[in-house]
Amino acid sequence: MTGGAAREAWRLEVSLERDGGEVERRTFVALLFRPGGQSVFSGAEEAVLLKAAAEAGVPVPTVVCSGAEALGRPFYVMDYVGGETIGRRLVRDEKFATARESLPAQMAEALAAIHRVSVDGDTLPFLPRPPGGKPVALAAIQNLEEIYRAVSMDPHPAFEIAIRWLLRRVPETTDIALVHGDFRLGNLMIDQVDGLCAVLDWELAHVGDPVQDLGWACVRSWRFGRDELTCGGVGRREDLVAGYEKASGRAVDMEALRFWEVFGNLYWGVITLMQVRPLIDKTYRTVELAGIGRRAAETEWELLNLIEGKAY
Using DSSP's 3-state secondary structure scheme, residue 68 falls into: coil
- Condensed to tens digits (0 to 9), the pLDDT of residues 110-156 reads 999 999 999 987 889 999 998 887 899 999 999 999 999 998 888 99
Beta-strand ranges (E) seen in the chain are 7-17, 23-33, 63-67, 75-79, 177-179, 188-191, 195-199, 206-208
pLDDT (mean) for 99-115: 97
Of the given ranges (3-17, 61-75, 153-167, 283-297), which has the lowest mean pLDDT? Answer: 283-297
Between these two residues, 169 and 42, which has the higher pLDDT value?
169
Is 70 exposed, middle or buried (CB count within 10 Å of its CB: 0-12, 13-18, 19+)?
A: exposed
- Condensed to tens digits (0 to 9), the pLDDT of residues 201-225 reads 998 999 999 999 999 999 999 999 9
Domain residue spans in the chain? Answer: 83-307
Predicted pLDDT at 43: 84
Q: Give this prediction's pTM.
A: 0.92
Per CATH, which fold does 83-307 belong to?
Aminoglycoside 3'-phosphotransferase; Chain: A, domain 2 (3.90.1200)
Of the given ranges (64-78, 93-107, 178-192), which has the lowest mean pLDDT? Answer: 64-78
Predicted pLDDT at 179: 98
CA 258/CA 16 separation, integer angstroms: 51
In the 8-state DSSP scheme, what is residue 84?
B
Per-residue pLDDT band at 278 (split at 50, 70, 90): low
Q: Which of 44, 29, 142 is nearest to 81 (CA)?
A: 29
Q: Which of 5, 3, 1, 2 is nearest to 274 (CA)?
A: 5
CA 279/CA 297 separation, integer angstroms: 17
CA 300/CA 312 separation, integer angstroms: 16
In percent, the amount of the chain with pLDDT more than 70 equals 94
- Condensed to tens digits (0 to 9), the pLDDT of residues 26-46 reads 999 999 887 655 567 788 899
What is the Cα 23 distance to its own chain's centre?
Answer: 38
- Condensed to tens digits (0 to 9), the pLDDT of residues 231-273 reads 999 999 999 999 999 999 999 999 999 999 999 999 999 999 8
